[in-house]
Amino acid sequence: MQRLGRYNTLRNQILIVFLIVMVIVLGFVAVSTYHFGGQILRDNAERQLKQTAVQASGKTDTLYGQIDLLTNQVATNQSVQQLLTRLYDGEEATFQQRQSLLTIGNTFQAYSDGIQSFEMYSAENQRLFPLDDTYLYDRIAPYWVVRADYEKGRQIWVGQDPEYPGSLLAIRRISLIERSFASGGYLVIRIDPNYFRFSDGERSEDRDAKVLADSNDNVITTNTDFAEALLDQEGEQRISLNGEEYILVQETSPVTGWTTYIATPMTALASGASVLGLIILLSALLGMLIFGAASYGFSTVITKPIFKLTETMKKAREGQLQKNKIKSSSIEINELNQTYNQMVEQTNHLIQVVYEKEIIQNRAELKALQAQINPHFLFNTLNALYWLLEEKEESELAEHVVTMSELFRYTISNGQKKNEWVTLQDELDHAERYMSVMKMRFGDRLTWKIVLPDQVKSIQIPKLMIQPLVENAIMHGIEGKVKPGEIKIEVAEVESDRVLVMVSDDGPGMSDRLLNQVTEAMKAEGISSKRGNGVALANVHHRLLLHFEGHGTNGLQIDSVEGKGTMVYFELPYYESKGERLG
């Protein structure tokens, strides 16, 4: 199963489905074509067979008409008319006159291969030619004589010659033109049956069974031993002769009343269907070959870009996250490839963002580590100093030492918990502790105001986002003033899902030119606090962009009016889930 599983590819599946559909369609078309085409061929063969019967019957009519024409010429011959007229008038026919009939008969007999002989009888049924004493009633039955009289000169078909079984007979009355077409005698014609034999022309392989029968179902000529079996059938039908199936057609002549029977083997009719079946089979094989090649090519066109994309994805597991540059003629494949390339681009971008975020975090941790020196030593020293000041009743200084201790502990703890997040309340408490320490230096020159609504105190914010802004405001806004200055930290809701954090001072402010320079330097990570021991504004700006990317924040913003002061602010998403991170 595993060995077969490697062939279970999309291309092979498409190819197999196409081939199955092709086989079903071609099979249906082939069977339908063979069935209906064979039926059409058989119908055409039957029509052709019917036409053959019509032609054979027409030929028989023509041959019969030739005999009828010759016998009519004999009956109307002047010498014959004169002799029979004399007999009709009661005169005797001389030997020479009767002998002259031999010459006349032989002359007309030479014009047709079908006439074996003529016999002429007087109205009294006495034979005039050939010269003997035979009477007409001794030659044929009286019925035919009566029929001849009734037809008044028309040729009457008698059938088999009772005296010569290998010959056929016909009779006609000789009407005397000069005696108002009165009966002057009779002309009996002996006919060779082979005269009406069926001619197969050039069809040496003809297997048709043919029978020509008169109106009394007497066989005139045939080429088969199944003549009697054919005469027992009526209409067009399929019959069985000697274990073989035949189709029988009949055609009755309106001139003679004779019927032509033609039976053709079904195998002969189906020969065309066999050729048609062979052609259909070869066409189906050729169609399968062409369709198979086209299906293989089409499936390859579809699956080749997918295989290429799959190979590119496999490289991603090895750490090679690259774009797939192959192009396809299919819109869907191109869309899939474009989506993958976009995913690769976004993934690489996220990797770069995380990498930069880690660098910034590592820098901040490094600065915190450099600043803490030895946390235990520092905290122990501050603790000792605190108790020393308490013993000397220096309560104010002792409180400042506690404040510094908490300030250092908050700052140094950043290096112990990576990417630590705190609430706005914690961050503002830290900023206030920092301003308390700085007040030891500036005294009454430094005052501050903090506005923090209760409903936003629990919003999460990365540690050390506000204190660097306060430090910058003191160093650049308060330090340069002779008069007292105020730092204001205000948090306000601007939308239902975000707040605005503002740090402002009433210092000297900046001109527009200087403000632009500071803003550009901040975005380029090129500005830091004056003393160099705080976190740079650029650091805060880029940390905001990294932490809140995709949340509609624009990082750190600076507004300043020369002579009135400076405000630094940023937007913060309303996020209260502690212990989790945004992004």
Supply the pLDDT for residue 203: 44
410 within domain boundaries: no
> What region does 181 belong to: left with phi over 0, alpha with psi -120 to 50, or beta?
left
**565: in domain:** yes
Give pLDDT tens digits for 449-491: 999 999 999 999 988 899 999 999 999 888 888 889 999 999 9
Report the C-alpha gap between 581 and 583 in whole angstroms: 7
Mean pLDDT of the chain, nearest integer? 80
For the stretch 559-572, pLDDT in tens is 999 989 999 999 98
Distance CA 396, CA 377 (A): 23
**Which one is predicted more confidently, 381 or 290?**
290
Element spanning 421, H or E: strand 421-423
Which residues are paired to 221 by β-bridges?
212
| CATH code assigned at 179 | 3.30.450.20
pLDDT-based confidence at residue 528 (cuts at 50, 70, 90): very low
C-alpha–C-alpha distance, residues 413 and 345, integer Å: 36
3-state secondary structure 246-269: EEEEEEECCCCCCEEEEEEEHHHH
**581 has pLDDT over 60:** no
Residue 503: CATH number of its domain: 3.30.565.10
Same domain, 450 and 311: no
- What pLDDT band is residue 415 in, cutting at 50, 70 and 90? very low
Question: Is the pLDDT score of 139 beyond 50?
Answer: yes
Residue 510 pLDDT greater than 80, yes or no = yes
* pLDDT for 487: 95
Beta strands 498-505 and 485-495: pairing type? antiparallel
Last residue in a domain, options 252, 287, 320 = 320
In the predicted structure, residue 527 carries a pLDDT above the cut 60? no
Structure confidence at residue 530 (pLDDT): 43
Q: Are residues 73 and 222 in the same domain?
A: yes
Q: Mean of the pLDDT values across residues 364-381?
A: 59
Does 583 have pLDDT greater than 60?
A: no
145-170: average pLDDT: 91
Region 86-90: mean pLDDT is 89
Which one has a higher pLDDT value, 468 or 1?
A: 468
Q: Specify the pLDDT at position 377.
A: 54
| 463 vs 375, higher pLDDT | 463
Per mean pLDDT, which of 138-142, 287-291, 316-320 is the most reliable?
138-142
Is 147's pLDDT higher than 70? yes
For 94-103, 197-206, 307-316, 423-432, which range has the lowest pLDDT when averaged over its residues?
Answer: 197-206
Give the pLDDT score at 328.
65
Give me the percent of the chain exceeding a pLDDT of 70: 81
pLDDT of residue 282 exceeding 80, the answer is yes
Among the residue ranges 241-245, 353-357, 469-473, 573-577, the one predicted with the least confidence is 573-577
Share of the chain above pLDDT 90, in %: 22
Residues 252 and 121 in one domain: yes
CB contact at 8 A, 547 and 558? no
In this predicted model, what pLDDT tens digit does every residue of 228-239 receive, in sequence order?
888 887 766 778
- Domain termination residue (choose one: 320, 347, 368): 320
Mean pLDDT of 2-18: 67
Tell me if 410 sits within 8 A of 466, measured CB to CB.
Answer: no
Q: Is 103 among the domain residues?
A: yes
336 in any annotated domain: no
Query: Which among 320, 350, 382 is the end of a domain?
Result: 320
**Residue 425 located in a structural domain:** no
Q: What is the pLDDT of residues 72-87, one digit of tens each?
A: 999 999 988 888 898 8
Q: Are strands 485-495 and 446-451 parallel, antiparallel or unpaired?
A: parallel
Which residue range is the domain that position 71 belongs to? 10-320
Give the pLDDT score at 249: 87
Q: Is residue 422 part of a domain?
A: no
- Could you tell me if residue 478 is inside a domain? yes
297-311, 406-420, 522-536: range with highest mean pLDDT: 297-311
Number of domains in the chain: 2
* 107-116, 137-146, 203-212, 419-428: least confident range: 203-212
pLDDT tens sequence across 54-64: 888 888 899 88
Q: Determine the pLDDT at residue 446.
A: 92
| pLDDT score for 577 | 53
Phi/psi for 244 (5° steps) reads -115, 140
